Homo-oligomer: A and B are copies of this chain.
Amino acid sequence: MPRDRVTAMDVAARAGVSQSAVSRVFTPGGSASKETAAKVRAAADALGYRPNVLARSLITGRSRIIGLVVAYLDNQFYPDALERLSAALQKRGYHVLVFLANNRSDVSEMIDQMLDHQVDGIIAASVSLSNQLADRCEAAGIPVVLFNRGQDNWRLSEVTSDNLQGAAELAQYLVAGGHTRIAQVSGWLGSTTGRDRDRGFRDGLSSVGADLAASIDGRYARSEAASAARRLCDGPHPPEAIFCGNDHMAFAVMDALRFDLGMSIPGDVSIVGFDDVPMAAWKSYDLTTWSQPARAMVDTTVDTLMARIDDRTTHPKKHALPGRLVIRTSARGPATWPRPDKQGDSHARL
């Protein structure tokens, strides 16, 4: 029944001031005398008044809402990122309108709906935008930042970790660990992260005179990764090590090898992943992996977005943040790491 919200008008009447006075008191930059403010506040409290954000947004043209598209939530990296993003945004007074682009649901449609809702900015996690879509956002003056996904598009900001470097170091680590036949269950090669990690891994191998024995695209999916692993290892010459394009697939690979093929890890085969999701530290997997700096990635994403919201002339920027190798027990490794010369390098950079 109570469809009668209390409005600024009601408060004004009770406080004996004009409605615009009420508005001023509730507007950050508003100028009002101490007395007026006090009267208004009292009346507002008594009535339980809260400004209608919709009306405010309609005028100011800023909704303080950020649209967030996420592709999937079964890879623990994303719930984790979502949690952090939401917290960071909330701290800055923004709210999050989420869209899950699960299967083949139309990202284009979602972007349109976000635009309809006058979002102040858009974060696309692990989904890519067509040029056309990017245009539409730009036309609407809405900044977009890609999270954990790149794009050959100068209009869009993006935040990733240094996938090339990470995959390369994993490759070197495996070689240093004495592995010869090395295979890969790559991330989806249709995505920039998948391609970059693939590229980085191959380059890393060549940099130490090794090369890739076999590679199958696991498409970041558990079932595909599992079957890839079985195909890779069920032959006469199974690999000694497998690099997985992300942790999520690495878990599937480990399960398949251990329980379907009865192999031991790292006894029969070493496994490394990419991301360092919380589960990678669970003893059942204890996965050696590359840690993507989730916290820094989120902070950078939010900073970048805010900068562009506050100043539309700011240019889009691409960030590739540094990660680090996290050594656990799923892969046989060298006695010491980082290798001495590397150590020197990183000192030199300080």
Residues of A with Cβ closer than 8 Å to B? 1-3, 5, 48, 50-55, 57-58, 61, 63, 65, 72-74, 76, 78-80, 82-83, 86-87, 90, 95-100, 102, 105, 112-113, 115-118, 138-141, 251, 254-255, 258-260, 278, 282-285, 312
Bound-complex Cα distance A152 to B310 (A)? 46
In Å, the complex CA distance between A58 and B58 comes to 9
Q: Which residues of B contact A255 (CB under 8 A)?
A: 282-284
Residues of B within 8 A of A63 (CB): 54
- Cross-chain contact of A99 among B90, B138, B251 (Cβ < 8 A): B90
Taking a contact as CB atoms closer than 8 A, the residue among B53, B54, B112 that contacts A50 in the complex is B112
Q: How many angstroms between the C-alpha atoms of A260 and B284 in the bound complex?
A: 11
Q: Among B105, B116, B278, B284, point to the contact of A52 (Cβ < 8 A).
A: B116
Give every chain B residue within 8 A of A98 (Cβ-Cβ): 82, 86, 96-98
Mostly helix, strand, loop or mixed at chain A's interface?
mixed
A95 to B110, CA, bound (A): 10
A74 to B80, CA, bound (A): 7
Q: Are B74 and A278 in contact (CB under 8 A)?
A: yes
Tell me whether A258 and B284 are in contact (CB under 8 A).
Answer: yes
Q: A73-B83, A82-B73, A139-B2 are in contact. Are A113 and B97 (CB under 8 A)?
A: no
**Does A54 contact B52, Cβ atoms closer than 8 Å?**
no
**Top 4 A-B pairs, shortest CB-CB distance:** A73-B79, A259-B283, A79-B79, A284-B284
Which of chain B's residues has its CB closest to A80's CB?
Answer: B73
CB distance from A139 to the nearest CB of B (A): 6
Q: How far is the CA of A74 from the CA of B77 in the complex (A)?
A: 10
Q: Assess whether A50 is in contact with B100, with CB atoms less than 8 Å apart.
A: no
Whether A83 contacts B102 in the complex (CB less than 8 A), given A2-B140, A48-B139, comes out as: yes
Partner of A258, one of B50, B87, B118, B283: B283
Q: Which residues of B contact A48 (CB under 8 A)?
A: 139
| Alpha-carbon gap, A150 to B99, bound state (A) | 27
Known: A1-B141, A100-B86, A312-B1. A117 touches B80 (CB 8 A): no
Q: List 11 A-B contacts (CB under 8 A).
A: A3-B61, A50-B116, A72-B83, A79-B79, A95-B99, A96-B98, A97-B97, A254-B284, A255-B284, A259-B283, A259-B284
> Which residues of B have CB within 8 Å of A82?
73, 98, 100
Give the distance in Å from the alpha carbon of A284 to the alpha carbon of B257 in the complex. Answer: 11
Expressed in whole angstroms, the Cα–Cα distance for A260 and B282 within the complex equals 12
C-alpha spacing A80/B74, complex, angstroms:
7
Q: How far is A61 from B312 in the complex, measured between Cα atoms in Å?
A: 32
Q: How far is the CB of A334 from chain B (nearest CB, A)?
A: 24
- Give, as a whole number of angstroms, the nearest-CB distance from A246 to chain B: 16
A100 touches B83 (CB 8 A): yes
Q: How far is the CA of A164 from the CA of B96 in the complex (A)?
A: 35
